[in-house]
A and B are shown apart, each in its own frame.
Chain A
Amino acid sequence: DTGVSQDPRHKITKRGQNVTFRCDPISEHNRLYWYRQTLGQGPEFLTYFQNEAQLEKSRLLSDRFSAERPKGSFSTLEIQRTEQGDSAMYLCASTGTGSSGANVLTFGAGSRLTVL
């Protein structure tokens, strides 16, 4: 198992363009999370999935943001009509649903978005 993979690692785009990020979680993990992190701040929760069901979305997630996890495995996060304020690191994390109360988040390396 190679951990949580995110692609691309870096994306530079012009304002108004659409971008899509992909996350491949640890294979046996059925919960998948997206966070946004700006420089010097903590990760902000965006949304999470249990299997293919999107169970919660943050109010931070405007209608320009959409996330999917169609088969309960990998997930995509799309940002339409990007704005300069969308520039951030987008982190994906996954966790299992074992009996341990910890259910520790395992994070990917992140996808850094720069909107010019």
Chain B
Amino acid sequence: AQKITQTQPGMFVQEKEAVTLDCTYDTSDQSYGLFWYKQPSSGEMIFLIYQGSYDEQNATEGRYSLNFQKARKSANLVISASQLGDSAMYFCAMRDGTGGFKTIFGAGTRLFVKA
């Protein structure tokens, strides 16, 4: 069965510093997609970044990058130059790529950015 594990319930980072949020996944599929979403206190889910299982390059989107280590089944999110507005819940998610299109989510990591 597919599973997403986020082992950091909460993280603190100083403004302007970089932070890494951990995510490991488990799947027997060869084709899958990995996502990170942000959920601020207002509640809306915001897509941040995507990595396909066959993508050789790590995905980057502005200040966000995804450190994809396929052999270790990890997909860590790196946020560079943290801003106060980055304080939110962050969810790692995985979509089955072979026959189904269900996306499952991890339990999330709450990030606190300190001024």
15 contacts between A and B (CB under 8 A): A31-B101, A33-B102, A35-B105, A42-B106, A45-B102, A45-B104, A48-B101, A95-B101, A101-B33, A102-B52, A103-B95, A103-B101, A104-B35, A105-B45, A106-B47
Are A41 and B47 touching (Cβ within 8 A)?
A: no
User: Of B4, B43, B100, which contacts A56 at CB under 8 A?
Assistant: B100
The CA-CA distance from A93 to B103 in the complex, in Å, is: 11
The 3 A-B pairs of least Cβ separation, nearest first, read: A42-B105, A107-B45, A102-B50
Q: Taking beta carbons and an 8 Å cutoff, which residues of A are in contact with B?
A: 31, 33, 35, 40-45, 48, 50, 55-56, 89, 91, 93, 95, 101-107, 109-110
For A101, list chain B residues within 8 Å (CB): 33, 50, 52, 97
The A interface, classified by DSSP as helix, strand, loop or mixed, is strand
Q: Taking beta carbons and an 8 Å cutoff, which residues of B are in contact with A?
A: 4, 6, 33, 35, 37, 43-45, 47, 50, 52, 91, 93, 95, 97, 100-108
With A91-B45, A104-B47, A105-B47 known as contacts, the answer to whether A41 contacts B33 (CB < 8 A) is no
The CA-CA distance from A33 to B96 in the complex, in Å, is: 14
User: Of A31, A40, A107, which contacts B44 at CB under 8 A?
Assistant: A107
Identify the closest chain A residue to B96 (Cβ): A56
The CA-CA distance from A48 to B50 in the complex, in Å, is: 21
Distance from B86 Cβ to chain A, minimum over Cβ atoms (Å): 18
For B37, list chain A residues within 8 Å (CB): 105
